[in-house]
Structure 1
């Protein structure tokens, strides 16, 4: 079921589930606290609405207990998740406090009109929209409440957990990046996981790009919205630095997690025994 990729990608595991793009385990990289970030604890993906019966059986093998759905209420209603067997769905509307919500989720409905896309997304507008979103992931009250619930759930053992939004790249990208940083992963490993979305997700949009070309549109206008860029995640990290100083203080003050929860969350995410086992060999 699994396919292990090379060292350049941090020995991550991806999974052969065609109807669930961008699925991977966020664990496996080294932690500065010793050992490594645990595998089999937190997975990330796109939404589960298109999951086929066959692929659902494959996903069941991961034994997911909790699906943290970071989409808006409208997105969840429009495309409900097909849950793995025995999994509990936890809806967490990260963008509830934002008026324009998720532009990317509405993109399939607007690409039929290239003039509208050019007006809304040209001249860096798509990039500016995403940069604002990534700052909101740190500063907005609905985002803090959503990521707080996710963090508490993981700390309390609602794992293995699957975290997703619509495309599994922005709201999910910050969820994965923040957890990895809190678990002691270095920034190179965090950015490698984050940017890998471009390899796993963008090819799945080729039918959309082809349709857009056919009506006279420029697919290049869609890339900043449908892919990820290093400066997007940097915007979240800058917001953390400006508001809280460190990722630890973001979890403590921004997400209002007490010391016991912080310690339990880190223990849940970091496998220090892995380092001890390597030393003993």
Structure 2
């Protein structure tokens, strides 16, 4: 098992930030300092930008919708290139892209989540991350860019909260590298520790509008059933992760091998 806490990077303006390095795979341990995941970087401070320079993060993959990115653009330091890969372009109303609606009208947003509906919506969204054409295109571009020989430095990928679109990207990378499924889930569930404290003001705002936090936790955190829904869709639609990579993302065996060479 990997030490998830040891991989967490506590930047106040970049919550849910951690290194994928340190996780064991079938070909060795994921190298540290090459690939990071986080929540939005729209509020990145000058002090925290310094970490990006120190870590040599030169490419940031923004998995948010075009509307999300336009409303809250990343505040990247000079020398770091941002690239938008709109995973949910075919479904911009997905609950995974709806955090702004929560902030604007907590009561109305919460009403859509009653009676376990929140969990159902997220499980369906995770299936969309596997089957939706825009998702397949975005994740294909993500993998191909990672292994591009002309790309330099470390890379980071994120969405708004760094848990759903980002969570599947991380799970896909780790799975294709041959990480143990328990370690894949450990990294995924670490979001509940790394992210929720940063969302406390949002929870308090919702409570002030009469919304109980227990209603929102399935939306603001992650659950095993969400990631399990994505893996189930992979198995049902493609028969496994390697075929998902080959037929869904159009990656060759050589390209998957290049990912392993790069990261392990």
Which residue of structure 2 lines up, in the alignment, with residue 58 of structure 1?
51
2:6 is the counterpart of 1:9: no
Instruction: Answer yes or no: is 1:107 the counterpart of 2:102.
Output: yes
1:144 aligns with 2:139: no
Which runs of no fewer than 5 residues in structure 2 stay unpaired? Answer: none
- Is the 8 Å Cα contact of residues 2 and 22 (structure 2) preserved in structure 1? no
Alignment of 1:182-197 (within 5 A): 182-197=176-191
Structure-2 change in CA distance of 1:224 and 1:10 (3 Å): closer
Please say if 1:40 is aligned against 2:33. Answer: yes
Q: Which of these residues, 66, 89, 95, is aligned with residue 96 of structure 1?
A: 89
- Please say if residues 70 and 164 of structure 1, whose CA atoms lie closer than 8 Å, have aligned partners that are also in contact: yes
Structure showing greater radius of gyration is 1
> What's the TM-score, normalizing by structure 1?
0.88
Structure 1 unaligned runs (5+)?
A: 1-6, 271-281
- Matched-pair contact (CA < 8 Å) for 2:21–2:34: yes
Instruction: Give the secondary structure class of the aligned counterpart of 1:266.
Output: helix
Q: Which residue of 1 aligns with 2:231?
A: 237
Q: How many residues align?
A: 260
Q: Is residue 36–residue 157 contact of structure 2 (8 Å, CA) maintained in 1?
A: yes
Task: Please list, as runs of the form range in 1=range in 2, the aligned pairs for 1:90-239 lying within 5 A after superposition.
Answer: 90-101=83-94, 102-111=97-106, 114=107, 116-157=108-149, 158=151, 159-239=153-233
Shift of 1:8: 6.3
Measured in 2, the distance between the counterparts of 1:249 and 1:221 equals 37
- Give the C-alpha shift of residue 203 in structure 1: 1.0
| CA-CA distance at 1:99 after TM superposition | 4.7
Residues 124-133 or 170-179, more deviating: 124-133
Q: What is aligned with 2:17?
A: 23
CA-CA distance at 1:250 after TM superposition: 1.1
> Within 2, Cα distance between the matches of 1:96 and 1:29?
31
CA distance in 2, matches of 1:256, 1:67: 22
- Provide Cα deviations, 1:209-257, integer angstroms capped at 9, x if missing partner: 1122222221111111110000100001011111112211111111001
CA RMSD of aligned residues (A): 1.5
1:75 matched to 2:68: yes
CA distance in 2, matches of 1:172, 1:194: 9
